[in-house]
Amino acid sequence: MKSQEVSRRSMLGLLAAAPAAFAVMSKGVVAADSDARPIIGKVLMPIGDATEAMDTLYPFFRMAEDGFKVVVSGPESRLYNMVIHEVPPNPNVPWDITEERPGYHIKSEIAFRDVDPAEYAGLFVSGGRAPEYIRYDKDLMRITKHFFEANKPVGVVCHGVEIVSAAGVIKGRTMTTVSKCALDAEQGGAKYVDKSVVTDGNLVSCRTWHDYAPFFHDFMKMLNASVKK
């Protein structure tokens, strides 16, 4: 199939439409390409409004790189607002905690209530402020419990600990998270350690996206091995 030529004007238009582009990509739509890799498994990524952009987008593309279809799921199937979380390095007025700024948008492909977790090879729990409210969703709790009961790979970053803690699946585990969420890990019955990445059984956790290099080295190794069984 002959590929269409993209003009400079068209490319600039695509770049200007970045939020819409992310919405399309979250549906798993890829261009026809003889080099496209076959999908070897699906990974579920629960999100909500105020999901952190870097926490979410890097995993979205990294897992796809190895042939996994990342299915973004939310309380409803709609467009969600991502945010940027950062403690400003040189603010005029110092911040003791994270500052939140608007980010891109991403489309949820399926609502939590419609998810059959048996169809997925793994679960990736992103961070940001979204976990504060989506952890109250009973279907998300049902979904999360499945991956631990079935011993499937689960990746958790930053505030994502709030979801696995609420689901009651980390009791007796050792894990890490951003330091301000250490209490969430401990209240869920886990032992908190301040490390870049911790693997305990099927659970791989990291503190923030700054730890993604060592985290994804371990998580992708586990995820790839799980689909080869």
Strands annotated E in 10-161: 41-46, 51-52, 68-74, 79-86, 99-107, 110-111, 122-125, 154-157
Nearest to 199 by CA among 180, 219, 183: 219
Identity at 155, one-letter amino acid code? G
Q: Check 85, 146, 159, 217 and give the catalytic one.
A: 159
The secondary structure element, H or E, covering residue 177 is none
The secondary structure element, H or E, covering residue 180 is none
Residue 159 appears among annotated catalytic residues: yes
Question: Annotated catalytic sites, by residue?
Answer: 159
